[in-house]
């Protein structure tokens, strides 16, 4: 439903690539079912794309998630989805967010809101029917661009123009917006690194530094999530050409002790940097031969699987590591007992941190990428039947010794070696 504000601030009616691509998303993804469910719920109900997906279409980036805003309240959103048999769950209903699920796609639908109070970490909100009021509570102009299912834009703060001209502007008073949610300091840095074509506005940097202690109010989960978005974005390497941004990241994340190592990369690291995943990148940033990695894991919660992966790399490099440490004999133990990823991480870590790219390491890396983890050819049944060893502790110890010898010998063991172990 087009309301007065739409007419006053004018919807963009141009049939350019922005409108066409947004319309294409509506036509080719399950989002069209959500538009139908919400738009047909009542005479005044409406839903629009908002935030990242609109921003990414404007910048011709890959759209990997879709956020939506609606003038319905959360209970009404639930009812509208239920009417069309669309599955959903209440992500953060107190903040107005419902997540719809269609064909394994997830769509966050947030009701229009206005802030009642904020504490720098959480906001108490009221639901609204006013699209501009919702836009005015958002952080940056480039994130306050809405679009209907046909790709018509509603852009009350000229975010499209800022995005195209490379300006990262807060909506309203920058200091007030930062104090509403201190995570906006990191969000500003992420958007600046990815989209800005200009120097920082001195007033923004001044306000960030003045309020940077407020970061301590932010949960470790939100901080690590934002760090991931920064470090895995295309703009991350721009950090090392921007003194102000680098200084702020080092203040917020003092555990990233190796961050300046990325200023100068060898040819392999430069070529493969964008291919590495977040956990390996964290390893490169925090592992320095001290207990710094342990402190990072204490400070920030990551999954047990990722924690184990990080600690394996850290443990290997706590010892004195030289090029001679990288033999198949040493690496086969890691390969067999800890898996392919552990070996690849440990070799890659050495390559990324070397001034010169050693071809020996590249060959080892290629070898272990293709190598299949072997299966121990001797089992308990064989020892029990052939050597009359009864089930129990002795059998377990013999098997363990056989396994260690087999791995040590490059996954080979002779009958004579087995007999010696059994008889010892």
- For the ranges 120-134, 201-215, 262-276, 355-369, which has the lowest average pLDDT? 120-134
Tokens representing 25 are 């998303």
Q: Which two tokens stand for residue 277?
A: 């995943």
Kindly state the average pLDDT of the residues 270-287. Answer: 94
> Do 240 and 331 meet the contact criterion of CB atoms below 8 Å apart?
no
Per-residue pLDDT tens over the stretch 302-344: 999 999 999 999 999 998 888 899 998 889 999 999 999 999 9
- The predicted-structure confidence for 373-420, as pLDDT tens digits, reads as follows 989 888 888 888 888 888 888 888 888 898 888 888 888 888 888 888
Q: What is the pLDDT of residue 341?
A: 96
pLDDT at 204 exceeding the cut of 90: yes
- 289 has pLDDT over 50: yes
Place of tokens 């141009």: 14
Given this model, what pLDDT does residue 95 score? 76
pTM summary value = 0.85
296: pLDDT strictly greater than 50: yes
Tokens linked to 72: 């319905």
Report which of 139, 151, 246, 149 is spatially closest to residue 189, judged by C-alpha positions.
246
User: HSE (CB half, 13 Å, CA atoms) of 162?
Assistant: 19
- For residue 121, what pLDDT is reported? 57
Please compute the mean of the pLDDT values over residues 156-181 and round it to a whole number.
95
* Listed residue (70, 138, 60) closest to 108, CA to CA: 70
Is the model's pLDDT at 9 over the cut of 60?
A: no
| pLDDT higher than 60, residue 273 | yes
Q: What is the pLDDT of residue 7?
A: 39
Confidence at residue 123, expressed as pLDDT on a 0 to 100 scale: 60
Place of tokens 């469910």: 37
Token pair of 137, please? Answer: 């509570």
Position 10 confidence tier, pLDDT thresholds 50, 70, 90: very low
β-strand partners of 113: 127
Q: How confident is the model at residue 186 (pLDDT cuts 50, 70, 90)?
A: very high
Q: How confident is the model at residue 119 (pLDDT cuts 50, 70, 90)?
A: low
Output phi, psi for 300, to 5 deg: -120, 130
Q: Are strands 105-111 and 66-70 parallel, antiparallel or unpaired?
A: parallel
- pLDDT on residue 202: 96
410: left (phi over 0), alpha (psi -120 to 50) or beta: left
Start-to-end C-alpha separation, the chain: 85
Structure tokens that stand for 172 in this block:
């309203």
Mean pLDDT, rounded, for 249-258 = 96
Residue that is written with structure tokens 């930062």 in the block: 178
Query: What architecture is domain 1-165?
Result: 2-Layer Sandwich (3.30)
Average pLDDT for 70-74: 95
Spatial separation of the C-alpha atoms in residues 36 and 31, rounded to whole Å:
9
Angle, to 10 degrees, between the axis of helix 359-370 and the axis of helix 340-352? 160
Give the whole-angstrom CA distance, residue 47 versus residue 81: 12
Residue 116 has pLDDT above 90, yes or no: no
Residue 15 has pLDDT above 60, yes or no: no
121 CB-contact burial (10 Å; exposed 0-12 / middle 13-18 / buried 19+): middle
For residue 188, give both structure tokens.
Answer: 């500003």
Both tokens assigned to 17? 């690539």
- Secondary structure (3-state) at 358: coil
Domain residue spans in the chain? 1-165, 173-253, 279-370, 380-423
Structure tokens at 116: 């009642």
Q: Percent of the chain having pLDDT more than 90?
A: 70
The class that CATH gives domain 173-253 is mainly alpha
């Amino acid at each position: 439903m087009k309301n007065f504000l739409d007419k006053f601030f004018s919807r963009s009616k141009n049939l350019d690539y922005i409108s066409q691509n947004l319309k294409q998303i509506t036509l080719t993804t399950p989002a069209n079912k959500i538009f139908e469910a919400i738009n047909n719920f009542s005479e005044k109900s409406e839903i629009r794309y908002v935030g990242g997906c609109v921003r990414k279409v404007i910048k011709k980036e890959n759209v990997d998630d879709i956020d939506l805003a609606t003038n319905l309240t959360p209970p009404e959103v639930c009812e509208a989805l239920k009417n069309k048999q669309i599955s959903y769950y209440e992500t953060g209903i107190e903040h107005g967010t419902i997540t719809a699920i269609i064909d394994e796609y997830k769509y966050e639908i947030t009701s229009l809101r206005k802030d009642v109070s904020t504490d720098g970490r959480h906001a108490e909100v009221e639901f609204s029917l006013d699209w501009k009021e919702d836009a005015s509570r958002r952080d940056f102009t480039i994130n306050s661009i809405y679009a209907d299912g046909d790709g018509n834009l509603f852009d009350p703060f000229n975010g499209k123009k800022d995005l195209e001209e490379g300006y990262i502007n807060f909506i309203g008073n920058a200091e007030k917006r930062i104090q509403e949610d201190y995570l906006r300091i990191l969000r500003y840095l992420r958007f600046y690194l990815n989209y800005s074509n200009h120097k920082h506005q001195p007033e923004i940097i001044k306000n960030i530094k003045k309020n940077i202690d407020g970061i301590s109010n932010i949960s470790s989960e939100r901080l690590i999530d934002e760090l991931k978005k920064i470090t895995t974005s295309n703009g991350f390497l721009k950090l090392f050409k921007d003194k102000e941004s680098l200084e702020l990241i080092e203040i917020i994340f003092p555990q990233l002790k190796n961050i300046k190592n990325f200023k100068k990369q060898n040819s392999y690291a430069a070529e493969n940097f964008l291919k590495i995943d977040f956990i390996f990148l964290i390893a490169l940033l925090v592992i320095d031969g001290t207990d710094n990695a342990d402190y990072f894991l204490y400070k920030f919660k990551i999954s047990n699987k990722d924690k184990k992966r990080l600690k394996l790399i850290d443990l290997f490099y706590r010892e004195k590591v030289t090029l001679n440490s990288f033999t198949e004999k040493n690496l086969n133990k890691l390969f067999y007992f800890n898996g392919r990823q552990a070996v690849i991480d440990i070799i890659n870590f050495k390559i990324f941190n070397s001034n010169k790219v050693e071809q020996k390491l590249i060959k080892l890396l290629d070898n272990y990428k293709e190598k299949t983890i072997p299966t121990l050819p001797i089992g308990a049944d064989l020892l029990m039947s052939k050597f009359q060893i009864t089930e129990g502790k002795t059998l377990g110890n013999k098997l363990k010794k056989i396994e260690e010898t087999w791995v040590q010998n490059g996954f080979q063991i002779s009958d004579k070696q087995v007999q010696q172990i059994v008889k010892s």
